[in-house]
Structure 1
Amino acid sequence: MTAQADTETAPVVPTPTPPDAADAWYAPDVREQDEVYPGVVVTVRRGRSGFRYDVRDPVLSASETDALSTVESHFAGANIERPRTREGAVERMNGGFDAKHRRVIDRLVDASPASRRRVEYHALSSLACFDDLTPYALDSRIDVADVTDDGVVVHTDDYAPAETDLGPDPAYLNRFASERVERHTVRFQGFEIPVVVYREHLLGADPFTTKYAVREPDLLPGDEQLIEVCKERVWETGVDGVVQDRVDFVRERARSLLARQLTVRNTTEWVDAARYRLRSALAELDLAVPPVDHRFADDRLDDLLYYVLRDLVGYGKLTVPIRDHTLEDIEANRVDERVKVLPRADLGHDGRVPTNLAFDSEAAFVNVVTQLAADDGVELNASNPSAKVNIDPDGDSLHDADDTIRCAVALPTISEGGPHISIRKQSGDAMTPVDLVQRDSLPTELVALLWLLYESHGVVLFSGPTGAGKTTLMNAHMPFIPYRDRPISIDEGSREVRIPHETGVSLTTRDHERDHRRVTMADLMTQCNYLNPDIEVIAEINTAASFETFAETLNTG
């Protein structure tokens, strides 16, 4: 009987209840608790003054803290691009460091797998993500973050407002409050470079809310010096004969130089390279199996090679925007100022969008200006400091390219703030009258009137400010010219007129510092008269010469 009584009166552990239950004896103030990332736990509590949002990161031991400091010190000079939005932060944390960064961390940190994961989380958060804001970015339930005098207050799906331990001005708050609009890639010499268009929601931080970011490869400490040395030595190579393909020459020469530099700079890679060469030599004598691994890290070599090709055969920091078919205009106004672009897509406004690109030196800016001009056969100098040129970044004929790219470039000689570049890209797919009507750009009655004028060889003058769509409107109605007629276009280097007729001819002026090599509008007008035109199309009337040509065209019928 006594044993039975003791059994009946023994204490019983109550069944666990949810934290938000009224009788939850172990955490009466907890309303929600979740693991938003391995080892990262967030807790929402209810206090006297309201809700509170607490974060618990993986706890580091003393040795792990020292290892983290070593990693952060090593990567202090690295060029690691942080995400621009919360979506990018989640992708970065889920993806972890790149392979080349992990190899460096392997050499710096000697710890157990669990310890390594904790160190890598904190390193990834502080070096490549939002630092203290990282765990908040990982919680998809946070909708809004407000900044008060006391700190940051978050609003979750179910609890708001909730106080945090963050101060009133945490780093990367503008990126935390940004949303991704769209993302795509731009191809350059076999590389796919990601581009992100995003919108910031932090009021007062920047008058531009929509922004354009080019996500070029991250660099390790010392990589920038490797790139500069490689660019200097590429052209020192002796060449027998004529270089048939400049891109292939630079690629092969740069790859060889960078491979040697990487091997010399790193002891581990030097040993791997020696082992690779030894096994290769023994394999030739049938004394060993040929090596199947690589002498160096291909991903790091490719990243360095991209920057060399970008600066030597591309257009420097404008390489990706120039090749991005989603852009219409590109503007670089001065040194240390953000490059501006004008997207073709509707982003909620029609204005310019700043980028994360800027020229940090006048020398680099001038190099791009002179290269753009040289690609169209124009030499810029003190006597000829500006030019309007057309470029073809893919190396094909301009008339076969998808886009017509027109550039206005100038040296610091005539520009107070330094060199400047203005690029206009006309899409290869010309709009049709149906497209313009469907977009409510013009009424059907005007289309009918233009049809009659084009077909009957009438005089049509499109006038308006820059970017109003004059050329677009003119090209859209060019098919109204009878296919039997012979249209001849005359312009001052813009090459924006699209003549779909087999009988059509396009004439373009040519600037040159020497008069006998210059082709003027008057010269083209004389040439045009010998071509027996039915219709003459003048692309632009913005100079005295073009206006005179327009008057002569009217006079000759």
Structure 2
Amino acid sequence: MRRRERGDGSTGETGVRTVSDGATLRIVDEPDDDPGGAVPAPVPPGDPEAWYAPDVRAQYEAAPGVVATVRERDGGRFGYDVREPPLSPADERALDRVRDRFSAVRHRRPLTRVGVVERAERGFEPKYATAIDRLVDASAAARRRIDYHALREFRLLGELTPVALDDRIEVADVGDDRELVVHTETFAPLETGIDADADYVERVAAERLAQYAVEFAGIPVEVVVYRERLLGSDAFETKYAVLEPDLLPGDEELIEECKSRIWETTVSDVIEDRESFVAARARRFLSRRLTARNTRAWLDAALHRARAALADRGLAAPPVDSRFARDRLDDLAYYVLRDFVGEGILTVPIRDPHLEDVEANRVGERVKVVPRASVLSGAAGGTGEAGGFDGDDEATPEAGARVPTNLAFESETTFVDVVTGIAARDGTELNASTPSAKVNLELDGVPQTIRCAVALPVISEGGPHVSIRKQRADALTPVDLIDRGTLSVELVTLLWLLYEHRGVVLFAGPTGVGKTTLLNAHAPFIPFDARPISVDEGSREVRLPHETGVSLTTRDHEDAYKTVGMAELMTEANYLKPSTEYVQRKRTENAGWDIEHLSAALCR
């Protein structure tokens, strides 16, 4: 029963306040304003005065639509919970259609938390967005929720995505009960309830050391060097990843069909530019197939061709190609070019100027690389020739250390094709009688000579193997060596005097310590009008900046009479009347001949 009271306490239709026979709930700004015990005004759950959530210590938006909550548990422990955008039954059905479309595809997920944040901000690439547009018809709000869950499930880290997106989390580690625990600047440790053995746990704790792009056939391919901080996840902490384009369902079959068509192409003239030839035919075939697969685009394709024909005659404006996502065509063409023009999965590492060595030892094993010291030092200091570094000194791996990649040969046939193709580029045919060889690659766009040692399974257990060594594009100078602490000023001065006065200098040491680097760095000390002659065993690593210099190299061949050895080259060098000889000798057989030749050189 209610009644209205006037300001003077009498009742009437126009009242100032409402009273009832039961208890009255009143909201006031300050509890002290009402000695009768009114309920405080609502405050955020993380506020100490939040009477309705006494165990909540913090609550905030970790990402758009994602709310993180820190709760206090028994025993003084803290828990970390997240609430993601909810889905209605209609949203779930739409998401199921997306799952059916993309579940069979192997997606490349971000390798670090930084990568998760960047990909979440970018959203779906056009080729994914185009495919989802055909599967989902929903309101803008529902589409945002569906996109979040689809992105989380297929392009990010699944259930670990909210943890990776939370910028307040500073450290992720494994707790005593094999549970993922995180630390924020205010609370630590926070129990997440996520098993430490769950997929992608190591990526939440991973740190990016470097990121840059390597170009192949006009297509930039992202490369990431990163470090996994989760203990026990892998014997190798630092890793190298080539972020090749993702493929949609049916793309692998389309690529194989395209390669078969190109292989069967009949040509009447000599192909001078193989890359352009393959790229043009691949794009033509793939664009037709992509258009034909999209039945909704048939009419658009017909209009496109009609407008293109009119544009060729100046009767209409050129059409805008919207028949399919353009990035999908580029991605498919990349894989065709990679396998036909490049060196398969080794294409990007071979062309990466920031790597010294590339090694593939057997089928099914990760390819290993050796990053240059300049990249690793850049990763520590925040700058460097690779760019995009955000590491620290603790994260810097030792220079010259091998680093595993995300690449591996899954088929021996594919591995053999790559190895024999590399050898064939230098005119060497690998077969049962010649199962191994040392060859040199000269690649377009790569300024330095690439030295390769390749072998077939005939002599290599576990499949073929290939070892690739690359010099820097530009030789180091004595000043560079002094700045890096490699040589002292006094030693450089001594070498200068020896070079200028035709002394004898011997650089000796194990593989990879920098013998050729030292030799090339001091070559400018030889007078400009001298006649230096270099002799090496097929590596072509000695660089002579002199107009008067001559470089000689050995030549291996399956026919013995076509082989050119060191003895023949030294005889040839004597006829050239050298003022300075560079002899690069690595193998140990015929060591007596080496000593004899050096003695003769000293006498001259």
One fold, TM greater than 0.5?
yes
Q: 1:348 aligns with which of 393, 397, 422?
A: 397
Unaligned runs of 5+ residues in structure 1 are 396-400
Aligned: 1:439 with 2:484: yes
Whether contact under 8 Å (1:492, 1:540) holds in the other structure is yes
Match of 1:236 in 2: 264
Summarize the alignment of residues 108-507 of structure 1 with structure 2, pairs less than 5 Å apart. Answer: 108-148=135-175, 149=177, 151-280=179-308, 291-344=319-372, 345-346=375-376, 347-350=396-399, 351-394=401-444, 402-507=447-552
| Distance in 1 separating the partners of 2:51 and 2:417 | 71
What count of residue pairs does the alignment treat as equivalent?
552
Whether contact under 8 Å (2:5, 2:17) holds in the other structure is no
SS, match of residue 494 in structure 2: helix
| Distance in 2 separating the partners of 1:61 and 1:465 | 66
Letter in 2 for 1:499: L
Letter in 2 for 1:122: H
| Distance in 1 separating the partners of 2:123 and 2:594 | 63
Deviations 1:158-188 (A, max 9, x none): 1112222323432200111101001100011
Change in Cα spacing, 1:527 to 1:40, as seen in structure 2 (3 Å) is same
Summarize the alignment of residues 34-73 of structure 1 with structure 2, pairs less than 5 Å apart. Answer: 34-49=60-75, 50-73=77-100
| Distance in 2 separating the partners of 1:270 and 1:296 | 11
Whether contact under 8 Å (2:246, 2:331) holds in the other structure is yes
Match of 2:112 in 1: 85
SS, match of residue 477 in structure 1: helix
Summarize the alignment of residues 494-533 of structure 1 with structure 2, pairs less than 5 Å apart. Answer: 494-533=539-578
| Distance in 1 separating the partners of 2:98 and 2:421 | 40
Aligned: 1:551 with 2:596: yes
Deviations 1:124-170 (A, max 9, x none): 11111110000011101111223232632221111112222323432
Q: How does the TM-score come out when normalised to structure 2?
A: 0.87
Change in Cα spacing, 1:214 to 1:510, as seen in structure 2 (3 Å) is same
Structure 1 residue 74 displacement after superposition: 1.2
| Distance in 2 separating the partners of 1:130 and 1:295 | 31
| Distance in 2 separating the partners of 1:286 and 1:486 | 62
Aligned: 1:13 with 2:16: no
SS, match of residue 266 in structure 2: coil
Change in Cα spacing, 1:547 to 1:38, as seen in structure 2 (3 Å) is farther
Change in Cα spacing, 1:522 to 1:40, as seen in structure 2 (3 Å) is same
Deviations 1:316-349 (A, max 9, x none): 1111111111111110101111110100023331
Deviations 1:343-380 (A, max 9, x none): 00233313111010111111111111111111112121
Whether contact under 8 Å (2:174, 2:230) holds in the other structure is no
Whether contact under 8 Å (1:540, 1:546) holds in the other structure is no
Range moving further from structure 2, 18-27 or 226-235:
18-27
Whether contact under 8 Å (2:173, 2:230) holds in the other structure is no
SS, match of residue 355 in structure 1: strand
Range moving further from structure 2, 407-416 or 43-52:
43-52
Letter in 2 for 1:301: L
Change in Cα spacing, 1:288 to 1:509, as seen in structure 2 (3 Å) is closer
Change in Cα spacing, 1:446 to 1:309, as seen in structure 2 (3 Å) is same
SS, match of residue 194 in structure 2: coil
| Distance in 1 separating the partners of 2:220 and 2:550 | 37
| Distance in 2 separating the partners of 1:304 and 1:363 | 22
Deviations 1:434-473 (A, max 9, x none): 2222322233333233223222222222111111111111
| Distance in 1 separating the partners of 2:312 and 2:173 | 68
Change in Cα spacing, 1:268 to 1:163, as seen in structure 2 (3 Å) is same
Range moving further from structure 2, 376-385 or 449-458:
449-458
| Distance in 2 separating the partners of 1:241 and 1:403 | 31
| Distance in 2 separating the partners of 1:483 and 1:547 | 33
Whether contact under 8 Å (1:522, 1:545) holds in the other structure is no
Whether contact under 8 Å (2:304, 2:319) holds in the other structure is yes
Letter in 1 for 2:332: L
| Distance in 1 separating the partners of 2:199 and 2:119 | 17
Structure 1 ranges of 4+ moved more than 6 A: 282-289
| Distance in 2 separating the partners of 1:541 and 1:288 | 67
Range moving further from structure 2, 296-305 or 188-197:
296-305
Letter in 1 for 2:250: G
Change in Cα spacing, 1:280 to 1:323, as seen in structure 2 (3 Å) is closer
Range moving further from structure 2, 77-86 or 5-14:
5-14
Aligned: 1:538 with 2:566: no
Whether contact under 8 Å (1:538, 1:550) holds in the other structure is no
Aligned: 1:102 with 2:102: no
| Distance in 2 separating the partners of 1:150 and 1:433 | 53
Range moving further from structure 2, 39-48 or 497-506:
39-48
Deviations 1:394-427 (A, max 9, x none): 16xxxxx632311111111111121111111111
Match of 1:398 in 2: none
Match of 1:27 in 2: 53
| Distance in 2 separating the partners of 1:488 and 1:285 | 61
Structure 1 residue 387 displacement after superposition: 1.1
| Distance in 2 separating the partners of 1:126 and 1:369 | 38
| Distance in 2 separating the partners of 1:267 and 1:132 | 36
Identity %: 59
Change in Cα spacing, 1:150 to 1:463, as seen in structure 2 (3 Å) is closer
Structure 1 residue 282 displacement after superposition: 7.0
Whether contact under 8 Å (1:45, 1:51) holds in the other structure is yes
What is the alpha-carbon root mean square deviation over aligned residues? 2.2
Higher alpha-carbon Rg: 2
Whether contact under 8 Å (1:525, 1:549) holds in the other structure is no
| Distance in 1 separating the partners of 2:59 and 2:131 | 35
SS, match of residue 230 in structure 2: coil
Letter in 2 for 1:348: P
Match of 1:3 in 2: 6
Structure 1 residue 242 displacement after superposition: 1.3
Whether contact under 8 Å (1:75, 1:220) holds in the other structure is yes
| Distance in 1 separating the partners of 2:51 and 2:363 | 64
Whether contact under 8 Å (1:389, 1:493) holds in the other structure is yes
Q: How does the TM-score come out when normalised to structure 1?
A: 0.94
| Distance in 2 separating the partners of 1:365 and 1:145 | 38
Range moving further from structure 2, 189-198 or 12-21:
12-21
